[in-house]
Amino acid sequence: MSLRIAVQTCSAAECIPALNCLSAMPQVVRMQRMFSRILHCQMAPVHGLSTDGMDLLRRLLDPNPASRLTVQQALQHPWVCADMPPGLQV
């Protein structure tokens, strides 16, 4: 009489169902970091946007209403006024 044993191999994620969530972890971490940067107004430079344009964008998106630009201030920003004819400047 011989004894046969069947050996089945599986990946760690197949053998331990809780490990299936590990593949999603990098995406979750990226989302958490993105939301943190949004809440703290931490922006990477926008490709092709000038320094003045980036300054205007940061100041318009300032999370603090007291220091955020008003519409009047935004219209007087150097980036907005750069190519505007003198008679149209606010």
| In a domain? residue 84 | yes
**Residue 57 shares a structural domain with residue 78:** yes
| In a domain? residue 4 | no
| In a domain? residue 61 | yes
Q: How far apart are CA 59 and CA 51, in angstroms?
A: 12
Number of domains in the chain: 2
**Residue 33 shares a structural domain with residue 53:** no
The pLDDT of residue 25 is 66
| In a domain? residue 1 | no
In terms of residue numbers, what domain contains 58?
46-90
Q: How far apart are CA 10 and CA 82, in angstroms?
A: 64
Residue 9 banded pLDDT, cuts 50, 70, 90? low
The pLDDT of residue 84 is 81
Convert the pLDDT of each residue in 10-68 to its tens digit: 555 555 555 555 556 688 888 888 888 777 767 777 788 899 999 999 899 888 899 99
**Residue 56 shares a structural domain with residue 86:** yes
**Residue 55 shares a structural domain with residue 83:** yes
Q: What is the pTM of this model?
A: 0.54
**Residue 65 shares a structural domain with residue 83:** yes
